[in-house]
Amino acid sequence: MPESSQDLSNASISDKDTNENPGFVADPTIDSHPGRILRAARDELNYSAEQIAQELHLRPSVVLAMEEEQYTEFSSDVFLKGYFRSYCRLVNLHEERMVELLDVQLKLRQKDYDDAELVLKKGRQFKKRKKALLALILVLVILGASAFILSIFYQESAPISKPVPSLNTSTESADDFSPNNIKAPESDLSFKKPKNLSSTEATIPLESEAALEVAKKKITVSEPKKNEIEEKLEISDVSTVSQMSAEPSMFEATFSGDCWFKFVDANQKTIFAALKHAGDHVSYSGLAPFKVVLGDASKVNLTFEGKSINLRSHTARNGRAQLTLRKG
């Protein structure tokens, strides 16, 4: 190989080598690009990319990727440096100095990737904060609107208190024009019939007494009857006694495989809710009706009141069964 290829790699690395060889003028466009140095060395030797690939037992696309510095084509930096060293040896370039150039370029590329990733990360964080802020604003708007609607509804539904007119003031103002009230004392409010009054004057307290009697009758009518209270108590007692006297029902389930099992009693209380396995057995005694849910009806055998239950009519296409067990 000519000496100029070796001088090309040395000149791209060190100014000292350039001073030792004053006749060589380094191209500033390829000083920091090892791929361009490789290509310049190949062109100087009149080698094609296919010839280099054949000598290195590589694909031509790999050789062109190193020359064009497309390092993303390589699975790892280890393979890249191995191919790079072989290429340098083939075109008589200094391996270590060329690898130093490659390392500098790889570090710069990694820094660019890290900077780009940092920018993307900050962008994602900004979007998350923006979404959280919008969600908070939406919740506050909904709460404010709800409070406003509830205040309007409360104002409309609140009863309006009307002032009750005083009966004493009306009677007093009407009686002020009567000469009898002027002479009589204000403390005399008795409705008893006076002995010395005429028959026409004596009818007034009699009418007021009748009004009082009618008011008393209206008040006493609203009292509940004792017989009705006793009847209600007797009916409620009968219902509770009938519930207490109901006989409990017996339920059993035997599992032959994995099956989700849920059992609810008559009080809507979940007694069992778990995944059962082959060989598991469940028995329960209590008041019916019972609600049963099976994840795979083919893996379970049910018995209610000593009778086996046919699950085919209660089983869906996916094997799930749901049924209610009642007495009678």
Query: Could you read off the pLDDT of 41-94 as tens digits, one per residue?
Result: 999 999 999 999 999 999 999 999 989 988 888 888 888 889 999 999 999 899
Of 161, 148, 34, which Cα lies nearest the Cα of 100?
A: 34
Q: In what order do the strands lie in the sheet with 281-286?
A: 281-286, 249-255, 300-304, 307-308
Place of tokens 């004057």: 201
Q: How far, CA to CA in Å, does 222 sit from each of 26, 109, 214, 218, 240?
A: 119, 96, 14, 7, 29
Asked if 35 contacts 27 with a C-beta cutoff of 8 angstroms, the reply is: no
- Residue entry with tokens 């026409």: 200
Mean pLDDT value of segment 31-47 = 88
Q: What are the distances in angstroms from CA 314 to CA 200, 292, 299, 320?
A: 90, 11, 14, 8
Residues 6 or more apart from 208 whose CB is under 8 A from it? 191
pLDDT over threshold 60, residue 5: no
pLDDT at residue 180, rounded to an integer? 54
Instruction: Based on DSSP, count helices (H) and strands (E) in the chain, helices before strands.
Output: 11, 8
- The pTM of this model reads 0.30
Summarised one tens digit per residue, pLDDT across range 194-236 is 455 444 444 444 445 555 565 555 544 445 555 554 444 344 4
Residue 276, beta-bridge partner list = 259
* Confidence (pLDDT) at 21: 35
The listed range with the strongest mean pLDDT (5-19, 74-88, 252-266) is 252-266
Which pLDDT value is given to residue 89? 92
For residues 91 and 3, give the distance between their C-alpha atoms in angstroms, rounded to a whole number.
Answer: 11
